[in-house]
Chains A and B, each alone.
Chain A
Amino acid sequence: MKKREFAITLVKTLIIAVFALAFLLPLIWMVTSSLKNTNEVFAGNWQWLPREWKWGNYAAVWTDPDVSMFKAYLNTAFITVIGTVVQLIISSMAAYAFAKVRFQGKQVVFVLFLATMMMPTEVTIVPRFILFKTVGLYNNLWAIILPHFFNATAIFLLRQFYIGLPDDLMEAAKIDGAGHLRIFGQILLPLTKASLISLMVLSFISCWNEYMAPLIFLIKKPLYTISQVIRWYMLDDLQRYDLNMAAATSAIIPVVILFIFCQRYFVEGIATSGVKG
């Protein structure tokens, strides 16, 4: 019996492993291409491994004086950190109000917020262009950051979580004379840490990989995000495939490393968005 179980487990593992390998092949191709000479990438006598390992490709991508990956990392990190932190603060406050404060018009506001889950931001791209252009946020990192502040999904998920917290906690504090600010800040907010980490992960993924908004709003090279840098290499006259793949690898590897260290949070974060919905 035990032998049979082992065999089944092994077969299952192998099936999945084959799938997994197929999933990783394009990425392996990407990494090896990033270390080749550009002529090798599509050479007639193609092979997986570089004939000569050109680590210099990474140096070239990261230190290019015109379009530097280093600068792009700083820009993208700035967008991600501010966008995520403020989104979590704003969403937590709103979620607390929707769950624990009995104010008039609550339902109306909540339904209005929820309705936006159906409206992709792409629908409002023209007015946002006009708006940001008018108020001077064009070619400005804040044009990417600001729209991340409001996230209906985050508000909804946090509200569910706050509803799950027992009211007794609040009542006790109220008797001690605590106002909403203290109840929220000192008692309830710390209890939502796990959810916040999960949402942080979701927000990180969406900020870090954002493509369309930077494409429209960040056109000056010093403001490029990581996506913009990769696109720049795709469109460049010289068509350096090696550098293009080095840029792509530079965009992906750090996220993967982060994921390996925080795998639990990533998985939980994404799973929460599904189960509660």
Chain B
Amino acid sequence: MKKVLCLLLAALMLLPTLAAFAEGEDITSWILEDDTSISGEISFWMPFKGSQGMDALIADFNSIYPNIKVNLNTYNNNSDGNLSVNTSILAGEVDVLASFGLSNAYKRWEAGLYVDLTDLVEEEGIDLVANWGSDAFKYDDCIYTFPCGGLSYYVAINMNAWNAAGLGELPTEWTWDDYFAASKAMTEYNEDGTVKVYGGSSYHSQNYYTYVYGSLVGKNAYYDEDGTCSFDNPVIIKALQDEYNAEIVDKIWFPKSIYRGDNLQSQQTFLVERTCNSSLTPNMVRFLPDTANYGVDFITGFAPWPVIEKGQTNYMSGVSPFSHAGICMDPDDEDFPAAWAFLKWYSTYGVKYLAAAGHQPNWKGTEAGSALSLLFGSEEEAAKFVDVESFKRVVGVSTNPSYYEDELTAYSKVNSLMAEYTMYALNDVMSPEEALAELTKLADEAIAAER
């Protein structure tokens, strides 16, 4: 009897896997039915260059849809660049648009710059959850984009420094305290006692300490359940305090004030200037194979995003939705079917090419392990740059729990307030507590104003 129960239980546990497998089958079938004869010419706007996987993506697409000509238009993903995208949409020059981050997508949903795909999605029976794991990305109950590309968060580590500090095996799970201790161990000093190489570093954006909270709750690091902002949450206060200590007091992390003030980026300090030995840079893998600009003489290893306490579900260990793709072309345009075919193909089969630029595919039907070969060519080649084992364990594991954001109230405003007040704390103008108290007040005002 016991045996039967065990078997039953095992079967039950296997069911989700089987279901996922079945879904995978399903996913691969809905797209390629009989629309491969479509023809047309479309422009595809995307922040990545042709050499960053996009040429290969288009070539692959054309092997299935030979009659659709796709013109790649690479834009700068900063406020100038996004302004140019928006004005180009108004001029009718953008057909399919891929963008990064919720803030940009949100502004475009709000301004109606994307075509409403809700009816088409319903008609063709496209299941958002089955394909991309979430159907949260809607605006006013309408679907404008597919959340098809993601980011994987990890700590990139200079293995020379790691080994020199005698830190042993790379961890499979570690706490923030562990990471700070390792950062301290990897910090190198000049003869006069000043820091030569910081042991660790945050990413150069301001918001990374909120992901400490994000890894705990799994979604919407800026907002509490009741819709107010979360910056008064003890976890966030401690996270900012910790970053402050690491950068200002203990001087074991590269200071964010220098990243912001001197326009530095965190892959630079890690790969070019060698002023930090480890870094929370999610797109670091993009830069590693670029020997022309970032040639290095060390192997990069990978440790997972740290947790608050061991055993905690780590929502930052999976692949979080980060890019959004939609159509900006008038549905009456004769090329619309081509744009729709490309959007569907891109957001499913195509997204694996994002790996070549350091992002991670979010589509559930993506074959595992394609990132490594897309980035480096082969596993042997990869071994020259990275610690392959830890890479596979940590980078782009879409089966791990993942963090996402779907609360959008006053998002852009809250985001820029967060950036400003975080800098006051990390410039030592206000204490982290003061800065977050002020930020909470202003962010809640902004949220209330929008409601």
Is the CB of A102 closer than 8 A to any CB of chain B? Answer: no
Bound complex: CA A39 to CA B263 (Å)? 15
| Complex contact B293–A219 (CB within 8 A) | no
Q: Which residue of B lies closest to A232 (CB)?
A: B76
A20: chain B residues at CB < 8 Å are none
| Complex contact B78–A239 (CB within 8 A) | no
| Complex contact B87–A235 (CB within 8 A) | no
Q: Which residue of A lies closest to B267 (CB)?
A: A237
Bound complex: CA A231 to CA B90 (Å)? 25
A234: chain B residues at CB < 8 Å are 263
| Complex contact B91–A138 (CB within 8 A) | yes
| Complex contact B263–A133 (CB within 8 A) | no
A238: chain B residues at CB < 8 Å are 293
| Complex contact A237–B78 (CB within 8 A) | no
Most chain A beta-carbon neighbours within 10 Å: one of B81, B87, B264, B265: B87
A138: chain B residues at CB < 8 Å are 87, 91
Most chain A beta-carbon neighbours within 10 Å: one of B78, B84, B90, B264: B84
Is the CB of B400 closer than 8 A to any CB of chain A? Answer: no
Partner of B265, one of A39, A220, A237: A237
Could you tell me the distance in whole angstroms from the C-beta of A231 to the nearest C-beta in chain B? 8
**1/0 contact string of B84-104 vs chain A (CB within 8 Å):** 100100110000000000000
Bound complex: CA A139 to CA B92 (Å)? 13
Is the CB of B83 closer than 8 A to any CB of chain A? Answer: yes
| Complex contact A239–B87 (CB within 8 A) | no
**1/0 contact string of A67-97 vs chain B (CB within 8 Å):** 0000000000000000000000000000000
Bound complex: CA A133 to CA B273 (Å)? 43
Is the CB of A215 closer than 8 A to any CB of chain B? Answer: yes
| Complex contact B263–A215 (CB within 8 A) | no
| Complex contact A239–B263 (CB within 8 A) | yes
| Complex contact B90–A133 (CB within 8 A) | yes
Given known A234-B263, A238-B293, A239-B264, contact A219–B90 (CB-CB < 8 A): no
Partner of B87, one of A39, A133, A215: A133
| Complex contact B84–A235 (CB within 8 A) | no
A237: chain B residues at CB < 8 Å are 265
| Complex contact A239–B265 (CB within 8 A) | yes
Bound complex: CA A237 to CA B52 (Å)? 14
| Complex contact A235–B268 (CB within 8 A) | no
Q: Which residue of B lies closest to A138 (CB)?
A: B87
Given known A238-B293, A239-B264, A239-B265, contact A220–B87 (CB-CB < 8 A): no
Number of A interface residues in the complex (CB < 8 A):
14
A239: chain B residues at CB < 8 Å are 263-265, 268
Q: Which residue of B lies closest to A228 (CB)?
A: B80
Bound complex: CA A216 to CA B81 (Å)? 10
Bound complex: CA A219 to CA B87 (Å)? 10
Partner of B263, one of A139, A216, A220, A235: A235
Could you tell me the distance in whole angstroms from the C-beta of B443 to the nearest C-beta in chain A? 27
A219: chain B residues at CB < 8 Å are 80-81, 83-84, 87
Bound complex: CA A220 to CA B74 (Å)? 11
A231: chain B residues at CB < 8 Å are 80
Could you tell me the distance in whole angstroms from the C-beta of A244 to the nearest C-beta in chain B? 10
Could you tell me the distance in whole angstroms from the C-beta of A220 to the nearest C-beta in chain B? 7
Number of B interface residues in the complex (CB < 8 A):
16
Could you tell me the distance in whole angstroms from the C-beta of B82 to the nearest C-beta in chain A? 10
B265: chain A residues at CB < 8 Å are 237, 239
Q: Which residue of B lies closest to A38 (CB)?
A: B272
Bound complex: CA A220 to CA B94 (Å)? 14
B87: chain A residues at CB < 8 Å are 133, 138-139, 219
Q: Which residue of B lies closest to A235 (CB)?
A: B78
B90: chain A residues at CB < 8 Å are 133
**1/0 contact string of B39-82 vs chain A (CB within 8 Å):** 00000000000000000000000000000000000001010110
Given known A133-B90, A138-B91, A235-B76, contact A220–B84 (CB-CB < 8 A): yes
A39: chain B residues at CB < 8 Å are 272-273
Bound complex: CA A215 to CA B79 (Å)? 11
Q: Which residue of B lies closest to A238 (CB)?
A: B293
Bound complex: CA A219 to CA B78 (Å)? 12
Could you tell me the distance in whole angstroms from the C-beta of B406 to the nearest C-beta in chain A? 29
B264: chain A residues at CB < 8 Å are 239
Could you tell me the distance in whole angstroms from the C-beta of A261 to the nearest C-beta in chain B? 35
Could you tell me the distance in whole angstroms from the C-beta of A230 to the nearest C-beta in chain B? 13
A235: chain B residues at CB < 8 Å are 76, 78, 80, 263
Bound complex: CA A39 to CA B294 (Å)? 12
Could you tell me the distance in whole angstroms from the C-beta of B408 to the nearest C-beta in chain A? 26
Could you tell me the distance in whole angstroms from the C-beta of A43 to the nearest C-beta in chain B? 10
Could you tell me the distance in whole angstroms from the C-beta of A212 to the nearest C-beta in chain B? 12
Q: Which residue of B lies closest to A236 (CB)?
A: B76
Could you tell me the distance in whole angstroms from the C-beta of B201 to the nearest C-beta in chain A? 16
Bound complex: CA A237 to CA B81 (Å)? 13
| Complex contact B80–A215 (CB within 8 A) | yes
Bound complex: CA A124 to CA B272 (Å)? 43
Within 8 A of A (CB), among B267-281: 268, 272-273
B83: chain A residues at CB < 8 Å are 216, 219
Bound complex: CA A238 to CA B293 (Å)? 8
B293: chain A residues at CB < 8 Å are 238
Could you tell me the distance in whole angstroms from the C-beta of A171 to the nearest C-beta in chain B? 55
Could you tell me the distance in whole angstroms from the C-beta of B257 to the nearest C-beta in chain A? 16
Within 8 A of B (CB), among A216-247: 216, 219-220, 231, 234-235, 237-239
Could you tell me the distance in whole angstroms from the C-beta of A193 to the nearest C-beta in chain B? 41
Could you tell me the distance in whole angstroms from the C-beta of A166 to the nearest C-beta in chain B? 53
Bound complex: CA A139 to CA B273 (Å)? 37
A139: chain B residues at CB < 8 Å are 84, 87, 91
Bound complex: CA A238 to CA B78 (Å)? 14
Could you tell me the distance in whole angstroms from the C-beta of B380 to the nearest C-beta in chain A? 28
A-B pairs with lowest CB-CB distance, top 6: A219-B84, A138-B87, A238-B293, A235-B78, A239-B268, A237-B265
> Can you name 10 extra interface pairs (CB under 8 A) apart from A39-B272, A133-B87, A215-B80?
A138-B91, A139-B84, A216-B83, A219-B83, A220-B84, A235-B78, A235-B80, A235-B263, A239-B264, A239-B265
Could you write out 19 A-B pairs with CB less than 8 Å apart? A39-B272, A133-B87, A133-B91, A138-B87, A139-B84, A139-B91, A215-B80, A219-B80, A219-B83, A219-B84, A219-B87, A220-B84, A234-B263, A235-B76, A237-B265, A238-B293, A239-B264, A239-B265, A239-B268
